[in-house]
Amino acid sequence: MPLSHIRQKLNSNLNLSPSFGNIIKITPNIIMANGISPSVGDIVEFSSRDCKNLGVKRELQSADLGMVSAVEKDCFLVNPFSFVEGRKSGDFVRIVKAGLQIPVGEALKGRIINPLGTPIDGKGALNTTQKAPLLRSPIAAMKRGVIDEVFELGIKSIDGLLTCGKGQKIGIFAGSGVGKSSLMGMIVNGVKAQIKVIALIGERGREVPEFVYKNLNNDLTNTIIVVATSDDSPLMRKYGAFSAMAIAEFFKQQGKDVLFMMDSITRFAMAQREIGLALGEPPTSKGYPPSTLTILPQLMERAGKEEDAGSITAFFTILVEGDDLNDPIADQSRSILDGHIMLSRELTDFGIYPPINVLNSASRVMHDIITPAHTQAVRKFRRLYSLLKENEVLIRIGAYQKGSDPELDEALEKKPLMEEFLKQDLLEKWDFYKTREQLQVIMS
């Protein structure tokens, strides 16, 4: 055999000194193994005893991967990325040294991938060699840039009354079927961002193509979608969110303004609940173990604006059933986010789409980034609109006499214009400056 062949073999697929452990117990969600000593958070790969893929370097498959989640004196526990069916006691376990990495690069634009970076859109392999780690610490507090620029969404009611800034983190709170996916689609279509990363976590499989065709109009320009559906393992659903964030960070490091959008935080938290409970964590409020509340900031705090880099402006949807704002996930999210947009079922009954409840929503950075005249118009809009709400019943039954309250008269006169301002068709795009002008004209 020529020397070059031997060299090639040595350089390529063979790992000459792998050390292996063995599976000793399998339960529906957890695999117990011993023989090697990984640390918590390490990624391990399983292989069957017939040694088919032993030590062979190849693309990692979710079916064979797991994450070490607890370590005991002479054994350790692993959460599998896929399901445990087919695994046997005695199967081999090896540590994947590189940890969890995801392919990144320009080649991802326009693609739909799973949390480990495998394309699921049938358009072939990703043409990139760059990789980024899934898990990273958030932007250091002192490196965070101040939010001082408007992030234009192209949606009148948000740009006008709940203006968002580059690097802001916003929650979209809504019940099911109220219009989250539609609003997300409108934002993706209308936003002025160079890159858009969308994480669809825990949705039904059917909803994914529906979202792409119906809400995005099949237009994936500069868009990357990471999908973990409800039938994926809890670990896939959890890391789907981190994976999308890692991709957004890659583009942020290049100085781009990135839109990050995730549907939904609730399903992400539920995945962590499954993982935590299987490891024996105590359930607290609504069955959520404490680790659920700690992973929310670990994810959300990675968004933001960084000095000498670009920004990630993040929208997270949060399901609230029956407008229950005491839900632990909704509560914790609100404390981390710097803005919340409430969608209300009641508005859909009046045909107001997008059904944004402006009075219950807030953008905490807004007044630092808009002009004084704009601020004044917003305050007036809110004041008049809440007056209308307060006196709704009186007005409906005709008990209000015109002339008794000049402010309410003004509100009544402007009501049709204000309602018109809140409405926007799915495919309509509004320029930020046009929106601002319109608002100021209505309120003058």
Which positions touch Mg ion (CB under 5 A)? 181
Residue from 26, 60, 178, 303 that binds ligand ADP (CB under 6 A)?
Answer: 178
- Least distance to Mg ion, CB of residue 235, Å: 23
- Least distance to Mg ion, CB of residue 207, Å: 6
Q: Which does 250 bind (CB under 5 to 8 A by kind): Mg ion, ligand ADP, none?
A: none
Burial (0-12, 13-18, 19+ Cβ within 10 Å), 171: buried
Q: Which does 426 bind (CB under 5 to 8 A by kind): ligand ADP, Mg ion, none?
A: ligand ADP
Instruction: Please report how many Cα atoms fall inside a 13 Å half-sphere around the Cα of residue 371, on the Cβ side.
Output: 10
161/262 with CB nearer Mg ion: 262
* Biggest CA pair distance of the chain: 102
Q: According to the binding rule CB under 6 A, does residue 238 interact with ligand ADP?
A: no
122/177 with CB nearer ligand ADP: 177
Q: According to the binding rule CB under 6 A, does residue 181 interact with ligand ADP?
A: yes
Q: What does each C-alpha distance from 249 to 86, 191, 245, 268, 312 come to in angstroms?
A: 36, 18, 6, 19, 7
Q: According to the binding rule CB under 6 A, does residue 180 interact with ligand ADP?
A: yes
- Least distance to ligand ADP, CB of residue 344, Å: 12
CA 427 to CA 190: how far, in whole Å? 9
- Least distance to ligand ADP, CB of residue 230, Å: 14
Q: According to the binding rule CB under 6 A, does residue 353 interact with ligand ADP?
A: yes
- Least distance to ligand ADP, CB of residue 175, Å: 7
CA 217 to CA 427: how far, in whole Å? 9
Instruction: With beta carbons less than 8 A apart as the criterion, state whether 160 and 442 touch.
Output: no
- Least distance to Mg ion, CB of residue 324, Å: 19
Q: According to the binding rule CB under 6 A, does residue 358 interact with ligand ADP?
A: no
Options 178-186, 230-238, 246-254, 389-397: segment touching ligand ADP (CB under 6 A): 178-186
And the tokens for 185? 């689609």
Q: Which does 174 bind (CB under 5 to 8 A by kind): Mg ion, ligand ADP, none?
A: ligand ADP
82/181 with CB nearer ligand ADP: 181
- Least distance to ligand ADP, CB of residue 211, Å: 8
Q: Which does 130 bind (CB under 5 to 8 A by kind): ligand ADP, Mg ion, none?
A: none
- Least distance to Mg ion, CB of residue 200, Å: 9
182/194 with CB nearer ligand ADP: 182
Q: Which does 354 bind (CB under 5 to 8 A by kind): Mg ion, ligand ADP, none?
A: ligand ADP
The residue behind tokens 């050390």 is: 19
Q: Which does 167 bind (CB under 5 to 8 A by kind): ligand ADP, Mg ion, none?
A: none
Q: Among 172, 155, 193, which residue's Cα sits nearest to residue 438?
A: 155
172/422 with CB nearer Mg ion: 172
Q: According to the binding rule CB under 6 A, does residue 202 interact with ligand ADP?
A: no
Binding interface with ligand ADP (CB under 6 A): 174, 176-182, 353-354, 426
